[in-house]
Each structure stands twice: as C-alpha cells, then as structure tokens.
Amino acid sequence: MDYKDYTVREFLHDGMFRKWVTDPDQETNAFWEIWLRDNPDHRVTVEQARDVLLMIGPEEHLPTAEDQAEVWSRVAYSIRQLPEKRRIFVAWRYAAAFAGVLAVAAASWYFMHKKEPLLVGYITPYGETKKITLPDSSVVTLNANSKLRFSMGSDGKREVWIDGEGFFTVLHENNNAPFAVHTSDVDVQVIGTAFNISTRRIMTRVVLNSGAVKLKLNGEGQEDLSMKPGEMVTFSTKTNQLSRRKVNPADYNAWLDNMFVFNEATIAEVAEVLNENLGINIKIEEQELQKELFTGSIPMSDVEIFFRTLSRSLHVVIEKKDNKNYSIRRKTT
C-alpha cells in the first residue's frame, strides 16, 4: 500500500508516520514532503492525523510483519527520489530510525499486555550517538559504537545493561522504584541522578554529575561504594584494579556535544578513543611517540584538526591511507 487509502486512524497506527510527527529527522521529512507533493488530495487527512497525534501523544502498537515490509517498501520509494550521492546515507539512517520505532513500539505493546519484563535493545554505529527516552521517561544518550538493553518489570524495577558508553539522566519516581545499570564490572544502583558510564578497555568507568549512586563491585572482596558529584570511579574485574578520584565531569561528557576532550592523554590513548568511537585505526610507528602527551579538544566531525595539531607540535608525519586508516611517524629531518 502507498498510504492513499489510509484513514486518520490508520495513520495513527503507522510507525513511519508517528516517527515523522513525534521525532522527525531529515529523511522522514524528505519522505513525507515528497509524498504530500505527489498526493495533494490527501493532505487534509494527513494534517488531521498529525494534529490528533500531537494532542494525544505517540500511542504505540506492535507492527506486524506485513506492516514492516510495507514500511521498507516506502523507504525504498523515498530513497529513489533522492540524488544518487545521498542514497547510501539515507538508507542507513532510515534503517536506524525504523529499528528505533520498532523497538519502542514493541516495548510499549509488551508492557501493556505482559507481566514479565521484556529486554529492548539499542545499538549505535561508529560516529553516531542516539538519545533514548525509556518508558519511565528517564533519558539515555548512547555514545557511538555502543549497545544498551532495557528491562522494566511489572513491579516497576528498571534495569539497563550497557556495553560501550552512555550518559544517563534518571527520573526519580515517587515510589522509589529502583533503577540499576549493569556492566561486567559494576552494578550501579540509582535513585535520581545524572552520570556517565563507560565500559571501554576492559574496565567500567563511572563519572557522577549530580545526585548520588551506589556501586556494587563484582570483584571478590570488594566493598560497595557510594559516589558523590564530581567523582570518577574505575574498576575492572579482570585486573581487580580500583581507582577513585575527583574530576571535572564536563571533560568526560564532552562527547554529548560531539567533542573529545583530553588532558595530558598519551597519543596512544587518543588513538584508542578515536578507534572506539569513530572506527579510525591509527598506527603509531615508534613506542616513544605513543607516550607523548596531548591536551586539547577534537571535534568528532573533524578529526583532521587533531592530525594537523599533532603534526605541528610534535613534528611528525601523518600518512592517510584511507578514511579509516592512518599512520604516524617522526620526521627524519
């Protein structure tokens, strides 16, 4: 179907239509602009459905297999209308948006009809972040190259499992329903707070912005820790190493503004961050060069700034093999 026979009610139950109304992006806007241009007789019905959805909120239902196939066919149509150079990019963005719609729709339907908890998953690719509003209205911003699963039981208990990095703004509920974030190293018990958590490099790092959290360390013989704002705790079950110190949380949350901030980080550490978040591979030819320190910020959208700065300050040669592979070596003269 191509929407031409849709009623207001059918639009309200359509995942792609709800995505456009409640969480629009460049691609959904492009699709509906094209569709309305080609189907001006249906504009009144679309506008009525849009007004109703904005008034009642995005009530979800679980799309059937037929619904999903239909959406994909409409996506393919909209992509064909765009210039060739944008098609691959648009297809990927549509896939991510559609996956998000299905995940939220499935979660809402399940919570309304089932008593046992359901795990809902989210994944971000290299170079992209995603803001996720959980069913309890808590918000998670998931960093690039990360995975998150969320479960909410009938008893109100909220649980999240994360692999990668995310920034949590947890809503405090009147009944003090527990909110827990699980990693392989740490269980974070939360009431209402904002914090950043990362599971990169065989350890878990928690940086607390506000509120209070309690950490249950998974290693043997480790005691529970209560954190205060401005503290950072890192722990690894593999090495059993624990660190706790005062930091500036803004340095660790800079990725929310699409920036990487470093304070006397080694070049090897900077290279590791770029690899984790953007999928960039940097080969550093000399061991001593790996230990050189770097202080500054790097826009996630323009890592060439880092290479230009490095080239001037350390007198090194940067060789770009392709968009994802670089090598760094000292100048010989």
Q: Domain 258-330 falls in which CATH fold?
A: Phage tail protein beta-alpha-beta fold (3.55.50)
Q: Residue 27: its pLDDT value, please?
A: 81
Contact 286, 330 (CB under 8 A): yes
Q: Pairing state of beta strands 186-190 and 165-169? A: unpaired
Give me the tens of pLDDT residue by residue for the chain, a chain 333 residues long.
Answer: 578 888 877 787 788 888 888 888 888 888 888 888 888 888 878 877 776 666 555 544 444 444 444 444 444 444 344 444 444 444 444 444 444 444 444 444 444 444 445 567 888 999 999 999 887 888 999 999 999 999 877 667 889 999 999 999 998 776 777 899 999 999 999 977 999 999 988 899 999 999 989 999 997 788 899 999 999 999 999 998 999 999 999 999 999 999 999 988 999 999 999 999 999 999 998 989 999 998 888 988 888 888 888 888 888 899 988 888 999 998 876
Question: What count of other Cβ atoms lies within 10 Å of the Cβ of residue 234?
Answer: 18
Q: For 114-253, CATH number?
A: 2.60.120.1440
Question: What count of other Cβ atoms lies within 10 Å of the Cβ of residue 46?
Answer: 20
Q: Residue 55: its pLDDT value, please?
A: 54
Sole residue written with tokens 């593999």: 238
**Residue ranges of domains in the chain:** 1-113, 114-253, 258-330
Say how far apart CA 170 and CA 193 lie, in whole Å: 5
Structure tokens given for 106 = 């499935």
Residue 158: closest CA among 139, 141, 174, 136: 136
Q: Residue 51: its pLDDT value, please?
A: 67
Say how far apart CA 72 and CA 95 lie, in whole Å: 9
User: Residue-wise over 150-160: b if at least 16 C-beta within 10 A, else e?
Assistant: bbbeeeeebbb
